[in-house]
Structure 1
């Protein structure tokens, strides 16, 4: 079951990250933003928007599959790990600045996920000991 969680959350992270990075790329290629059919045509003329759609669909299917089995607390927390991955990719790919506050926030997200994972595994061990 742990392999299911690891693969599932890795897929969710990959799909969410793909979605957000592709939206950024599609937006960059469709500038300037304007309410016109020309702008909509620019958006849909780049493959990045289709990568974003694939990311959304993949994330949705993966999330629904994970919710059947994963505890909701750690699952919900881990589903927000894309904030960290997108921040890192934005720094690397788009040369966007990363502030100390963002680094502190990313560390807090990761620490929270780790704490929830340990708490959940401790509860499982306790419930297994009580039932045996």
Structure 2
């Protein structure tokens, strides 16, 4: 794991943001493939599989952009790389666990864990941003 600890804050933000963008591309491709397999042009066509795939993508698209924005701002504010790794890693892991736990239509512990990690990451990032708005940084 020395590779991760040697990263700058910007590299850490790029890593986690890139992984989340790739996750969104993967989830979007699942929607596209499901749509094609069921020959549905718009909406979900009443197809439960397509509805679920769309909802999984939609859920990711509701949380990931805010997280990427927070990572970018934390980096600009001079937060250290390890703090960026904690926020980015928690958010990515939370979104990944949540997406794959939603593949089952029943409530699962993975769904709860995924949302918990996501909300802790966003809450932590939001808190750091608010604190930095008042205390500033040595170079800002």
Normalising by the smaller structure, the TM-score range is: 0.3 to 0.5
Task: Give the TM-score, by structure 2 length.
Answer: 0.37
TM-score norm. by structure 1 comes to 0.39
